[in-house]
Structure 1
């Protein structure tokens, strides 16, 4: 998804369905919804109506709004449809907004819808929700003390992966930089629980468990000025993430590109979002 924003990998190339009507500078909404609507495992689950039979929200639910949007988009190809008002909650119609922010807001809203429904059955768990099953993975951050060689692991969930592209020319290069071991020394030395003092150590981030659908966010906008890094980035149609995982296994761990969300413009305050699906 957005270039400077998310790049989604998985599935196969397919035709787009119904376009979304512009409600006033809502290209960031329309482009993100097109990508979500054509994410095969999500669309299949939504149209199955599994959530609709359990939803306790009574008409104000992001997951129900997405189900209605995706169902109409897939069944009425070529018809211009308006995004449901529940999908726009918290965002403006007549000013530029960030497509990646909207995407994550929508995924988190769907996650809450899953949890609300599962609480009624007594099985509320973020890990078992459809959002986590499709988009969720886990990072492993491993620190090894260079004095006693002890290892400490921490694990953190993710729904998307942000890539620093400041010095990268391709998605693979940005991923290699992300998982490259980091030396902890001097002022940043590691406070080892075994050695009971600050010692040199190495720290490395790797993918411990991978998602069914991989969302990569290319960080094109600078935090201070909002200016955009406009260099070209190469990305493959097939991406093997095996080199970036905690446990190397035989054979590739491949994703196939199915959607790219693009920002056209020179800063985060102006421009236009569109997508290829």
Structure 2
């Protein structure tokens, strides 16, 4: 009647007792080695389950070696699928590997003032981070997180298949609303300014410049954004057929697979000047009349974590389809060419390009990739997560296995997460 979701306490008790029984079995010497490998996230050397029972004690005994390797899996923990909840699990894996979020939640910096803390998503995320970094190898069951998402983002309630990108924006929005009171150093002159942990990490500034084609006056607006959604070749907004002359100019040094559309190509298309046409005239403030114009998007402010959404799901009229175009993406990304300041410096003759001044401040490193497998009607989400510098793992709900760079770079990316690199200012030679 109140649209709330209630758990069956009897079933929860049965689940708890069953879990305790399984844990007791795991600690016994008769544990099946294949299950031990599953619980160790695939980091230990895999042994065949068909080996003789005489050899089994030898296989179970060397636990010290496994503990040595477990240092690479701290923070990596499987997540149980609660019924078409792979979209949630892959986003949780990405969020729990953001250093600033990890520091915030593990140091208990959140101060909850909600009348009912049990309904606070930030409190639950804090518990989730502690669970993910507890060192436990048993898969975590994120039922409380799912429950709160159903309450605070009703459009995601139920066991239907959901979109991982939609879930990301929804969870960031709820976390943003529930953590506003944690903001520090807010600008007194701007009461609407939020400095919560979500805004500190994810918020960038997207600049839109609309230029009148008659008098060339420019109208500029800057909007906050948590992610950038990019069109792909093969979509209705494809750029491969509309601008073939750009083919040679979009080759990037960061592309890993030559001759294939890249993330850089998508960003160049996103930040191109777009002629709005006669059907979309705007009223020019200088001409005081409706005129044709061009529009160009650039980044005014770069976030600490940049999330790129590759628009693989297209809805045109009544038709819905998935775009399977392979897009190559780099391990390191330089966002300097897509900055508003870069565009402005290019427009001023004789001015040095910003790429010569701050070569490292706008560079990012890839740390998580979300993949969608299957079709619109029947699909599944998995993720690749970077652990330390060159350690990559594949997360498929409760199962975590080690992955290679090739597995990562040849995957069909859907959401790409990049973290801003630590600024290393070069000492400029005054003689140059």
Same fold (TM over 0.5): yes
Alpha-carbon distance in 1 for matches of 2:138, 2:327: 34
The secondary structure found in structure 1 opposite 2:373 is strand
Alpha-carbon distance in 1 for matches of 2:134, 2:281: 58
Alpha-carbon distance in 2 for matches of 1:184, 1:122: 37
1:160 correspondence with 2:227: yes
Deviations 1:53-92 (A, max 9, x none): 6565422111111111111101224221111424442334
Unaligned runs of 5+ in 2: 1-71, 240-260, 343-353, 386-432
CA gap 1:122/1:54 in 2 versus in 1, 3 angstroms: farther
Q: Equivalent of 2:160, from 95, 98, 116? A: 95
The secondary structure found in structure 2 opposite 1:75 is coil
Match of 1:6 in 2: none
How far off its partner does 1:156 sit? 0.7
- TM-score normalised by the chain length of structure 1: 0.86
Alpha-carbon distance in 2 for matches of 1:109, 1:259: 22
2:112–2:120 contact (8 Å) kept in structure 1: no
Q: Which runs of structure 2 are paired with 1:44-193 in the superposition (5 Å)?
A: 44-52=103-111, 57-87=116-146, 88-89=149-150, 90=154, 91-92=156-157, 94-116=159-181, 125=192, 127-165=194-232, 166=235, 167=238, 169-193=261-285
CA gap 1:143/1:122 in 2 versus in 1, 3 angstroms: closer
- TM-score normalised by the chain length of structure 2: 0.57
Q: Equivalent of 2:85, from 12, 26, 33? A: 26
How far off its partner does 1:200 sit? 3.2
Match of 1:212 in 2: 304
CA gap 1:117/1:42 in 2 versus in 1, 3 angstroms: closer
Alpha-carbon distance in 2 for matches of 1:184, 1:220: 24
1:261 correspondence with 2:370: yes
1:232 correspondence with 2:291: no
CA gap 1:172/1:149 in 2 versus in 1, 3 angstroms: same
Match of 1:4 in 2: none
The secondary structure found in structure 2 opposite 1:59 is helix
- After TM superposition, where is structure 1 displaced by more than 6 Å over at least 4 residues in a row? 121-124
Higher mean Cα deviation, 137-146 or 181-190? 181-190
The secondary structure found in structure 1 opposite 2:224 is strand
Higher mean Cα deviation, 15-24 or 104-113? 15-24
Deviations 1:227-269 (A, max 9, x none): 21111110000011111110022325111000001110121x3
Deviations 1:209-233 (A, max 9, x none): 0100001101101124332111111
Higher strand share: 1
Alpha-carbon distance in 2 for matches of 1:162, 1:25: 24
1:184–1:190 contact (8 Å) kept in structure 2: no
How far off its partner does 1:151 sit? 1.6
Higher relative contact order (CA 8 A, sep 6+): 1
Q: Equivalent of 2:338, from 224, 244, 253? A: 244
1:184–1:200 contact (8 Å) kept in structure 2: yes
Kindly report the root-mean-square deviation, in angstroms, between the aligned alpha carbons of the 2 structures. 2.4
